[in-house]
Amino acid sequence: KFSHTSDYVMRARQAILEMHRQVGDELVLDGWGLAQRGLIIRHLILPNRLAGSYDSLSWLVHDISPNVTVSIMSQYYPTHLATQIAELCRKISASEYSEVLELVDKLELENGWIQGTDAAENYLPHFERDSHPFQPEKAQV
């Protein structure tokens, strides 16, 4: 609905299947911990369950592999036109976040990362600053 295409999920899944076919499950890291080869699937939790976390993560486990590396992102925050759309005009709730974490646990997805609940604030750029846009404000003394 919001991606303006009726076949977004099908296309995304086709792309993930092909990437997995090419590189498999193993994420190869160098001595610095930087990925050299492999697949990291990023899943952004959206408000009102719009990301389809249950279907998407279940599909990954059952159709791709339970060993695939997944990055669960909680950094969604509404900007621009999303602030005017009822389903998208807020950050994710604590219960929506917990639901996805419980699902990850239930599906036994063990490879990857889970962002904390403060990610929406930490990844919100402040371009009006003279300093780096992603640095937190310094405490005023």
> Is residue 127 in a domain?
no
Q: Residue 61 domain-assigned?
A: yes
Residue 138 lies in a domain: no
Overall number of domains in the chain: 1
| pLDDT tens figures, 10-60 | 999 999 999 999 999 999 999 999 999 999 999 999 999 888 999 999 999
Question: Is 73 inside any structural domain?
Answer: yes
Boundaries of domain holding 73: 8-121
Residue 1 lies in a domain: no
Residue 139 in this model has a pLDDT that exceeds 50? no
Q: Does the residue 129 lie in any domain?
A: no
Is 88 within a domain? yes
pLDDT digits (tens, 9 = 90+) for 91-133: 999 999 999 999 999 999 999 999 988 766 665 666 676 776 6
d(CA 92, CA 30): 34
Give 50-116 as a DSSP string.
TT-HHHHHHHIIIII-TT-EEEEE------GGGGGSTTTSSPPPHHHHHHHHHHHHHTT--SEEE--
Specify if 54 maps to a domain: yes
